[in-house]
C-alpha cells in the first residue's frame, strides 16, 4: 500500500463533503454531476492507495482506476456540455462514444498487450464516433475530430504504444472539459479560473504520464501534481456555487421574487438614472403607476394561488407591452410602475397609457378560467409635471388614486371555453 496518498485523499474527501453541503442550497443537475464526477475521482484515489510501490498494479485495481478516470471525465463533459442540444441527445452521444473508450480502458487495465485485441474496439469507436456526430450533433467537425482521434489510437496500438493510446485519449477528454468549462462559466468567476486550471493540469498529467513513468526521478513530484488538480477543481466548483448563490441573493435584493420584475429599490435607482439621462439629452419621460381593480375579489374568491398567477400574468403582459428601453417594476401588492423614456408629447404619453390599459384588459387564463381585468393608471411627465423622482411619483400616484375612486368594475370570470381563441 502507498500511504503517501492518504493526506491528498483525505483533503479530497473533505472537499467533496463541503461541496455536498453547499449543494443543499444549490440543488440542480449540474451540481449533482459535479458531485458524481468528484466521487468517481475519490474512488480512483482510494484504489490508487493499494497500488504496489514497485511493479505492475493489480489488474482489478488498474481497471477501476482507468474506468473511474474515464467515467469522471464523461460526467464532467456532461456538466460542461452544450445545453442547447437537449438532455437526451447529449446523454445518448456521451454514452455511445463512451462505451468504446470504456472497452479500451478496461482492455489496457487487464494488461492485455496484443494489438489485435484492441482493433474491434477501435473500429467500433471510429464508426460510432463519426455516425453519432453526423446523426445526433449534425456536425462534420465533430465527426472529423472523432475520426482523427481513433485513427491516432489505432496507429499507436499498431506500433505497440498501448500506454500513450490510453492516456492521450484521456488527455483529450479532459482538455475538452477544460475548454467547455471555460466557455460555459461566468467570465469573471474566480471558481472558473480554478476549474479550468485544474482540468488543464489534469489533461497535461495524462499527456505526460507515458513519459514520466520511465523516469523514476520525477515520480514523486508527478504524484503530488497528479492529486493537486483534484483539490483545485473541487475548490473551484465550491467557489462557483457560492458565487452563484451570492449573485442570486443580490438579484433577489433588487427584484420581486414572484414576478421577476425590479422591486421598489431597483425601480428608484432606474428612475433616477432615467431622469439624469433626460437632463443630459434634453428629453422627456413618462412615469406610469398602475393598480389593478378588484384584485382583492380575486384573492377572496379564488385564493392567493390564483392571485399570484394573476400578478405573474400581468407582469408578463406589461413586459410585452413596453420597449426594451423602458422599465417595468412591481412596487408591492397589485401596484406596478412603468418608466417610459423619450416621450416627446403629452399625446404620445396618452397613447402609451392607453396601450397599457388595453394590454391589461386582454383576457387570460387563470386556473382554467378566462379572466378579464381592469386597472387604474396614473401618469406623470418629467420635467413638465415635476422636477425630481419623488414628486414625479407623487403626481402619478395622485392621478391614479383619483381614477381609483370611481366605482370598481367587478372582475369578469368565465369558463375557459368562452375565452376567444387567438
The one-character DSSP state at 293 is T
Going 20 to 77 to 63 to 4, the CA torsion angle's sign is: negative
- Residue 1 and residue 16: Cα distance in Å, rounded? 23
Average pLDDT, stretch 396-413?
A: 72
Q: Evaluate whether 80 touches 195 at the Cβ level (below 8 Å).
A: no
Cell numbers placing 381: 411627465
pLDDT band at 170 (very low <50, low <70, confident <90, very high): very high
Q: Of 153-167, 224-238, 320-334, where does the model show the most confidence?
A: 153-167
**pLDDT > 90 in the chain, percent:** 52
Higher pLDDT: 107 or 301? It is 107
Distance CA 232, CA 194 (A): 6
Supply the pLDDT for residue 1. Answer: 65
Q: What percent of the chain has pLDDT over 70?
A: 90
Within a 13 Å sphere around the CA of 125, how many CA atoms are in the beta-carbon half? 24
Check if the beta carbon of residue 370 is closer than 8 Å to that of residue 416.
yes
CA distances (Å), origin 411, targets 374, 403, 406: 8, 17, 15
Domain ranges of the chain: 3-254, 264-418
Answer whether 66's CB lies under 8 Å from 108's CB: yes
pLDDT of residue 83: 59
Return the pLDDT at 54: 72
- What are the DSSP E strand ranges found in 195-299? 285-292
Average pLDDT, stretch 269-276? 93
What does the pLDDT read at residue 31?
86
Please state the rounded mean pLDDT for residues 302-312.
88
For residue 254, the model assigns a pLDDT of 92
User: 129: which DSSP letter?
Assistant: H
What does the pLDDT read at residue 405? 76
**Mode of pairing for the β-strands spanning 335-341 and 285-292:** antiparallel
pTM of the model: 0.73
pLDDT mean over 23-29: 72
Q: 416 and 368 in contact (C-beta within 8 Å)?
A: yes
State the Rg of the chain over Cα: 31
Tens digits of per-residue pLDDT, 87-116?
Answer: 888 899 999 999 999 999 999 999 999 999
Q: In what order do the strands lie in the sheet with 412-415?
A: 364-366, 369-372, 412-415
Given this model, what pLDDT does residue 219 score? 65
Model pLDDT, residue 417: 34
What is the DSSP secondary structure assignment for residue 417, as one 8-state letter? G
CB 115, CB 158: distance < 8 Å: yes
So what's the architecture of 264-418 in CATH?
2-Layer Sandwich (3.30)
The number of beta carbons lying within 10 Å of the beta carbon of residue 84 is 7
Is residue 108 a contact partner of residue 70, using CB atoms and an 8 Å limit?
no
Which residues fall within 8 angstroms of residue 337, CB to CB, at 6 or more apart?
267, 287, 288, 289, 290, 328, 329, 330, 331, 393, 396
Q: Tell me: the pLDDT tens digits for 214-237?
A: 766 666 676 667 778 888 999 999
Q: What is the mean pLDDT of residues 287-306?
A: 86
Rounded-to-integer distance, Cα 225 and Cα 56, Å: 21
Chain position carrying cell 420581486: 256
More confident: 26 or 154:
154
Helix (H) or strand (E) holding 37: helix 29-49
Give ∠ CA 44-64-103 in degrees, rounded to 5. Answer: 130
Of 32-36, 105-109, 279-283, 293-297, the poorest mean pLDDT is in: 293-297
Asked if 261 and 330 count as a contact pair (C-beta separation under 8 A), the reply is yes
Segment holding 375, helix H or strand E: strand 375-382
Q: Which of 150-159, 210-219, 338-347 tops mean pLDDT?
A: 150-159
Cβ contact 285:278 at 8 Å: yes
Give the pLDDT score at 402: 87
* CB-CB contact of 153 with 165 (8 Å): yes
User: Bridge partners of 328?
Assistant: 338
Q: Residue 51 has what DSSP assignment?
A: S
* pLDDT at 173 (0 to 100): 95
pLDDT at 206: 93
Taking residues 1-21, report their average pLDDT. 83
The pLDDT-based confidence of 421 (bands split at 50, 70, 90) is very low
pLDDT for the residue 419: 39
User: What is the spatial distance between Cα 327 and Cα 262, in angstroms, rounded to a whole number?
Assistant: 8
| Whether pLDDT at 128 is above 50 | yes
CB 261, CB 329: distance < 8 Å? yes
3-class SS of residue 410 = coil
Average confidence score pLDDT of the chain:
87
Q: Per the structure block, which three cell numbers stand in for 148?
A: 482523427
Cα distances (angstroms) measured from residue 320 to each of 162, 257, 264, 306, 316: 61, 19, 20, 21, 6
pLDDT score at 27:
60
Contact 177, 73 (CB under 8 A): yes
Strands 285-292 and 375-382, how do they pair? antiparallel
Q: Report the pLDDT averaged over residues 399-407.
A: 80
Q: How far apart are CA 323 and CA 356, in angstroms?
A: 12
Amino acid at each position: 500500500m502507498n500511504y503517501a496518498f492518504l493526506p491528498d485523499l483525505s483533503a479530497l474527501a473533505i472537499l467533496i463533503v463541503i461541496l455536498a453541503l453547499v449543494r443543499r442550497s444549490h440543488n440542480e443537475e449540474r451540481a449533482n454531476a459535479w458531485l458524481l464526477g468528484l466521487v468517481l475521482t475519490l474512488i480512483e484515489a482510494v484504489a490508487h492507495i493499494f497500488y504496489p510501490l514497485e511493479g505492475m498494479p493489480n489488474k482489478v485495481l488498474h481497471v477501476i482506476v482507468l474506468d473511474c478516470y474515464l467515467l469522471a471525465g464523461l460526467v464532467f463533459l456532461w456538466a460542461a456540455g452544450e445545453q442547447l442540444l437537449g438532455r437526451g441527445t447529449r446523454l445518448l452521444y456521451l454514452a455511445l462514444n463512451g462505451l468504446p473508450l470504456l472497452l479500451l480502458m478496461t482492455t489496457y487495465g487487464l494488461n492485455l498487450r496484443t494489438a489485435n485485441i484492441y482493433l474491434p474496439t477501435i473500429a467500433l469507436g471510429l464508426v460510432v464516433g463519426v455516425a453519432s456526430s453526423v446523426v445526433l450533433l449534425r456536425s462534420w467537425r465533430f465527426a472529423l475530430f472523432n475520426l482523427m482521434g481513433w485513427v491516432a489510437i489505432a496507429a499507436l496500438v499498431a506500433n505497440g504504444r498501448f500506454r500513450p493510446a490510453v492516456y492521450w485519449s484521456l488527455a483529450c477528454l479532459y482538455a475538452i472539459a477544460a475548454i467547455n468549462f471555460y466557455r460555459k462559466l461566468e467570465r469573471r468567476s474566480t471558481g472558473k479560473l480554478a476549474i479550468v486550471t485544474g482540468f488543464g493540469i489534469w489533461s497535461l498529467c495524462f499527456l505526460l504520464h507515458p513519459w514520466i513513468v520511465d523516469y523514476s526521478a520525477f515520480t514523486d513530484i508527478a504524484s503530488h501534481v497528479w492529486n493537486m488538480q483534484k483539490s483545485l477543481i473541487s475548490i473551484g466548483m465550491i467557489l462557483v456555487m457560492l458565487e452563484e448563490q451570492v449573485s442570486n441573493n443580490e438579484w433577489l435584493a433588487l427584484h420581486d421574487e414572484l414576478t421577476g420584475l425590479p422591486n421598489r429599490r431597483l425601480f428608484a435607482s432606474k428612475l433616477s438614472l432615467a431622469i439624469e439621462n433626460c437632463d443630459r439629452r434634453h428629453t422627456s419621460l413618462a412615469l406610469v403607476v398602475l393598480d389593478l381593480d378588484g384584485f382583492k375579489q380575486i384573492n377572496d374568491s379564488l385564493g392567493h394561488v390564483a392571485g399570484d398567477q394573476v400578478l405573474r400574468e400581468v407582469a408578463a403582459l406589461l413586459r410585452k407591452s413596453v420597449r426594451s428601453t423602458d422599465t417595468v417594476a412591481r412596487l408591492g401588492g397589485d401596484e406596478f410602475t412603468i418608466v417610459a423614456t423619450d416621450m416627446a408629447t403629452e399625446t404620445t404619453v396618452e397613447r402609451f397609457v392607453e396601450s397599457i390599459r388595453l394590454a391589461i384588459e386582454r383576457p387570460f387564463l387563470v386556473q382554467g378560467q378566462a379572466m378579464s381585468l381592469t386597472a387604474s393608471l396614473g401618469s406623470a411627465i418629467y420635467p413638465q409635471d415635476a422636477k425630481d423622482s419623488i414628486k414625479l411619483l407623487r403626481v402619478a400616484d395622485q392621478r391614479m388614486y383619483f381614477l381609483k375612486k370611481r366605482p370598481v368594475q367587478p372582475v369578469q370570470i368565465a369558463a375557459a371555453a368562452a375565452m376567444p381563441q387567438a
